[in-house]
Amino acid sequence: MENGNKEKDFGDILVEIPEKKDKTQGFLHFLIDLIETLVLAAILYLGINAISARIRVDGTSMTPTLQSGEFVIVNKLAYKFGSTKLGDVVVFKFPRNPSQEYIKRVIGLPGDEIKIVRGRVLVNGQLLEEPYLSSPTAYQGNWVVPENQLFVLGDNRNNSSDSHNWGTVPMENVIGKAVFVYWPPAEWGKINTHPKTVSATNPYP
């Protein structure tokens, strides 16, 4: 007598049914990886901006050292762990309008006596060697740099708005030290400081 419930024999056939869960998990892994990458990129970006800045030189006051349109890397930590030195090229907020940023060369430190006579610069009675100048300084004057201030001049000495006509720069206004030209590629290289003074018995030849 046959059983009323017939059984179907499918043999040893293995039927695999793809699970939707696998696709969902794959997408979640991708999303997590993407978020981690974006977070890491943001951290790196913020970290780089915390220690450096990139500026575009606008104008000719620092020629021939820096040309208008060049892009420069600024070390924002240079004076957090070190002191300003004679000859440093610095970026700072213009004392008369802090919304503007200037780039100039440090010619005098706090307490220094600056004298410009017959196209030559003397710092505390010593002649400042300035191989970066394309022409002698055409003006004259005497200055004493106040405490916590800097005396700065442009390398294009006779076509620069700087300390000789609007005064010194408070140290708190200094953003950092210009260290490297990175664009255009033809001008790629380190920015030299030339921090040298020499004694001169006859500084006015």
Domain spans, the chain: 52-198
For residue 70, the number of C-alpha atoms closer than 13 Å in the C-beta half-sphere is 26
Bond before 184 cis per omega within 30 degrees: yes
Parallel, antiparallel or unpaired: strands 89-93 and 71-75: unpaired
State the 10-residue block means of pLDDT for the chain, 205 residues long: 49 54 71 74 59 83 95 92 92 96 97 95 92 90 97 96 97 96 92 67 49
The runs of H, that is alpha helices, within 80-169 are 163-166
How far apart CA 192 and CA 50 sit, in angstroms, is 24
CB-based contacts of 96: which residues, under 8 Å, 6+ apart? Answer: 166
First-last CA distance in the chain: 133
Torsion of CA 114, 116, 122, 125, to 10 degrees: -70
How far apart CA 77 and CA 175 sit, in angstroms, is 9
* Catalytic residue chosen out of the listed positions 6, 80, 104, 161: 104
How far apart CA 142 and CA 122 sit, in angstroms, is 10
Q: Give yes or no: 160 in active site.
A: no
* Catalytic residue chosen out of the listed positions 20, 21, 23, 61: 61
Cβ neighbour number for residue 193 with a 10 Å cutoff: 17
Q: Give yes or no: 104 in active site.
A: yes
Q: Residue 135: its pLDDT value, please? A: 87
Torsion of CA 118, 119, 124, 126, to 10 degrees: -90
3-state SS assignment for residue 168: coil
Q: What is the value of pTM for the model shown?
A: 0.75
Strands of 7-146 (E only): list them.
52-56, 71-75, 89-93, 101-108, 113-117, 120-123, 126-128, 141-144
Q: Residue 18: its pLDDT value, please? A: 55
Cβ neighbour number for residue 160 with a 10 Å cutoff: 21
- State the CATH class of domain 52-198: mainly beta
